[in-house]
Structure 1
């Protein structure tokens, strides 16, 4: 049923809970796990020049140490959890509008299931879904499992 599972991650606690669910499902089905970190260019563009924004959109975070470290840490967690269970992992860092990048990645890589957190690093638990999660649900035809984080809310 599931051959390729996508886990968009920003490294937040709720994303890590989603990783646990994704890896568990992948193990049951012998699926490949795809870890995707998307730098939101709309959020970072204000303090950067056009050249830096272009590099981010291409997934090139060189010269942006904090962003590169965040991306590597977030997808590295997915890789660590999945490889511990003998699963194949594909890591990808990208820049753009997160919901568009997630939907495009899912379509381009024949993803069977997207597993993502209900909200990201917004710092506040919301009654409604996070904007990236909500927009992803509207942007893709791939099934999306939304995982919530309750204990110790961000």
Structure 2
């Protein structure tokens, strides 16, 4: 049923809950998992110059160590958990508008299912879904499994 599962991640607890679901499904269906970290160009645009934003859109993070570390850490968690379960994980980092990058990646890589958290690390939690999740649901034809996370503290 599923051969390629995309899990967008920002390293948040909600995203990590989605990772667990994606890996469970990958084990069941012998699927590969694609971990995608998207640097939201709109949110970093204010503090960066045009040249730096253009580099981010091209996926060039070489001069932005902090962003590179966050991205590698977030996708690395997926890869490490996948390795523990013998699930193949492809890591990818991109810059742009998250919902658009997620949709384009899914279409361009033959993704069968997107598994993502109900809301991310940025901003205040909305009544039902985070804006990236909601926009992804509205802009892709790939099935999306939305995973929520409740902090037990």
Same fold (TM over 0.5): yes
The residue that corresponds to 2:24 in the other structure is: 24
Cα root mean square deviation, aligned = 1.1
Deviation at 1:62, TM superposition (A): 1.1
The residue that corresponds to 1:47 in the other structure is: 47
Which whole-Å deviations, capped at 9, do the CAs of 1:120-140 have from their partners, x for residues lacking one?
013544322000000000110
Runs of 4+ aligned residues of structure 1 deviating over 2 Å after TM superposition are: 122-126
- The 3-state SS of whatever aligns with 1:115 is strand
Which whole-Å deviations, capped at 9, do the CAs of 1:33-84 have from their partners, x for residues lacking one?
0000000001001111111101101111111111101100100000011111
Q: Give structure 1 stretches of 5+ with no counterpart.
A: none
The residue that corresponds to 1:95 in the other structure is: 95
Q: Which moved more, 1:118-127 or 1:12-21?
A: 118-127
The residue that corresponds to 2:117 in the other structure is: 117
CA distance in 1, matches of 2:112, 2:52: 33
Q: What is the TM-score normalised by the length of structure 2?
A: 0.97
CA distance in 1, matches of 2:55, 2:80: 27
The residue that corresponds to 1:68 in the other structure is: 68
- The 3-state SS of whatever aligns with 2:25 is helix
CA distance in 2, matches of 1:42, 1:122: 12
